[in-house]
């Protein structure tokens, strides 16, 4: 499934691979509190390397952004990154208005938009027929919102968002491909308890 990384601007129709995008972001994710949605994002991030600061919300679709918001509001000293998907965001569009309202500076929202619900068989979502999540986020009041389609653009946007003072949503257009397996060796509850213990251990 993985065709290897495509670096630089997409000159052809070939879209960025989500796995390569996660690898590019990974060094910076090491120092953040990360919440992912279920499916390919969770499995691929784990395949790169699970860490106790990563929490994979493997259901409750739509709520990864809300979980991230809860952490960001509870612990303003921590950097929170939500790794979201188009299907999930579409299930909680109202949550973008809540992001717009509270706009925590310590939160970066990355939406991997593969225009489909991949793990259930590739059902095309509305972003495949013109719905523009970056524009929706901006209109919802998210202070900084942009769409990227190359690894270079993503890396640059992510660095700027982490270092900047504005809550940011980055919609990364990626190919509709994913891992062979979605169930991983890391138990849901094992992850949940380890993550909570990790957050407790961080100095306030």
List for the chain the helix, strand, coil content (%; round to 5).
45, 20, 40
Per rule CB under 8 A, is residue 55 in the interface with other proteins?
Answer: yes
- Residue 181, Cβ density class (10 Å: 0-12 exposed, 13-18 middle, ≥19 buried): exposed
**C-alpha radius of gyration, the chain, whole number:** 16
| Among 29, 44, 45, 62, interactor with other proteins by CB under 8 A | 62
Taking residues 9 to 48 in sequence order and writing x for each that binds other proteins by CB under 8 A, - otherwise, the string is: --------------------------x-------------
| Among 45, 63, 117, 170, interactor with other proteins by CB under 8 A | 63
Q: Which residues from 156-195 bind other proteins, rule CB under 8 A?
A: 188-189, 192, 195
For residues 189, 193, 195, 201, the Cα torsion angle rounded to the nearest 10 degrees is 180
Q: How many angstroms separate the CA atoms of 199 and 25, rounded?
A: 21
Sign of CA dihedral 5, 109, 125, 156: negative
Per rule CB under 8 A, is residue 73 in the interface with other proteins?
Answer: yes
Q: Which is nearer to other proteins, 63 or 148 (CB)?
A: 63
Residues within the interface to other proteins (CB under 8 A): 35, 55, 57-75, 78, 92, 94-95, 97-98, 101-102, 188-189, 192, 195-196, 199-200
């Amino acid at each position: 499934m993985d065709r290897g990384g495509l670096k630089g601007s997409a000159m052809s129709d070939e879209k960025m691979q989500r796995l390569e995008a996660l690898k590019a972001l990974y060094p910076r994710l090491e120092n953040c509190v990360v919440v992912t949605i279920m499916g390919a994002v969770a499995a691929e991030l784990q395949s790169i390397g699970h860490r106790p600061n990563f929490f994979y919300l493997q259901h409750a679709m739509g709520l990864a952004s809300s979980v991230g918001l809860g952490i960001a509001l509870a612990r303003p000293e921590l950097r929170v990154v939500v790794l979201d998907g188009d299907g999930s965001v579409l299930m909680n569009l109202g949550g973008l208005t809540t992001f717009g309202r509270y706009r925590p500076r310590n939160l970066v929202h990355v939406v991997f938009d593969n225009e489909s619900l991949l793990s259930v068989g590739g059902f095309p979502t509305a972003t495949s027929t013109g719905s523009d999540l970056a524009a929706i986020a901006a209109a919802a009041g998210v202070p900084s919102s942009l769409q990227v389609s190359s690894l270079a653009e993503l890396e640059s946007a992510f660095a700027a968002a982490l270092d900047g003072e504005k809550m940011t949503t980055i919609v990364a257009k990626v190919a509709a491909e994913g891992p062979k397996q979605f169930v991983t060796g890391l138990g849901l509850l094992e992850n949940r308890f380890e993550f909570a213990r990790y957050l407790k251990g961080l100095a306030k």
